[in-house]
């Protein structure tokens, strides 16, 4: 019988990877997932849940590139040069760094957030996975309307120690002051309405076209990001359970 971890949860079985360089398909199911959706739709919350549920490495490209640029390596220095020049890191380089993490930690699957953002990046990812004999399990779309996103993000207030409040949903006891450490609460620049609108415009222009791509490929699964996070979590878990059952039939 499969081993059980703390709380009686069945621990995920280790999967044997094919020989490096092999393009043979894996015989045991894995969860290779992409999270997409507009900023503020709740992807971060669901990513934490999926990590806890399945032990998947969470690969957020923004965090990954910031960490890589600090490395004393040829690739790290190349990324640092590009970012210092104010340029975008080339898709091939981003995918190379991402696949390093997948190869090192993603034997049982992975959870991508922030990549792919464009059709070109999606092509690069597909080709890289195919060379490894791997494929995507599902693309999880967390949806929310623009006005909901703007209300969520524009209402956030944070203190210097990172404690988060909201002017409508999670007010501090004393306006403008953190309940925990007494420091001043501020609105971050990227939470200002004009900035949020720009981020949403980029999402609609560059990332939203991927929805049609993955829907046509039969990979897209959509979830209502305006529902309570616990409900969205249950829906995602049920969806992934069905996908695994279908794969085993």
Quick check: helix, strand or coil at residue 109?
A: strand
Pairing relation of β-strands 109-113 and 31-36?
parallel
Is the Cβ–Cβ distance between 248 and 27 less than 8 Å?
Answer: no
> Would you tell me the crossing angle of helices 91-105 and 74-84 to the nearest 10 degrees?
140
Angle at 14 between CA 22 and CA 231, to 5 degrees: 110
Report the first-to-last Cα separation within the chain, whole angstroms: 20
Quick check: helix, strand or coil at residue 21?
A: coil
Catalytic residues: 43, 117, 156, 188, 199
Q: Which region, left, alpha or beta, applies to residue 159 given φ > 0 means left and ψ of -120 to 50 means alpha?
A: beta
Tell me the Cα Rg of the chain.
20
CB neighbours of residue 103 within 10 Å: 13
Quick check: helix, strand or coil at residue 137?
A: coil
The torsion angles phi and psi of 23, rounded to 5 degrees, stand at: -110, 20
Quick check: helix, strand or coil at residue 225?
A: coil
């Amino acid at each position: 019988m499969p081993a059980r971890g703390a709380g009686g949860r069945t621990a995920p079985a280790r999967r044997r990877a094919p020989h490096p360089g092999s393009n043979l398909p894996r015989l045991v199911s894995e969860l290779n997932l992409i999270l997409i959706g507009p900023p503020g739709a709740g992807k971060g919350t669901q990513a934490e849940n999926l990590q806890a549920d399945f032990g998947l490495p969470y690969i957020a490209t923004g965090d990954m590139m910031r960490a890589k640029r600090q490395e004393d390596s040829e690739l790290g220095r190349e990324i640092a040069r590009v970012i210092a020049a104010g340029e975008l890191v080339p898709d091939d380089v981003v995918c190379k760094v991402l696949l390093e993490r997948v190869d090192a930690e993603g034997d049982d699957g992975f959870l991508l957030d922030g990549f792919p953002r464009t059709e070109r990046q999606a092509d690069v990812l597909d080709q890289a996975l195919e060379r490894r004999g791997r494929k995507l399990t599902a693309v999880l779309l967390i949806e929310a309307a623009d006005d909901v996103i703007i209300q969520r993000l524009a209402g956030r207030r944070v203190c210097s120690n990172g404690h988060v409040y909201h002017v409508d949903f999670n007010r501090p006891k004393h306006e403008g002051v953190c309940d925990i450490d007494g420091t001043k609460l501020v609105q971050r620049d990227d939470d200002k309405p004009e900035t949020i609108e720009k981020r949403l415009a980029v999402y609609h222009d560059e990332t939203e076209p991927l929805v049609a791509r993955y829907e046509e490929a039969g990979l897209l699964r959509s979830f209502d990001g305006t529902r309570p996070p616990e409900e969205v979590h249950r829906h995602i878990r049920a969806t992934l359970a069905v996908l695994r059952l279908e794969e085993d039939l």
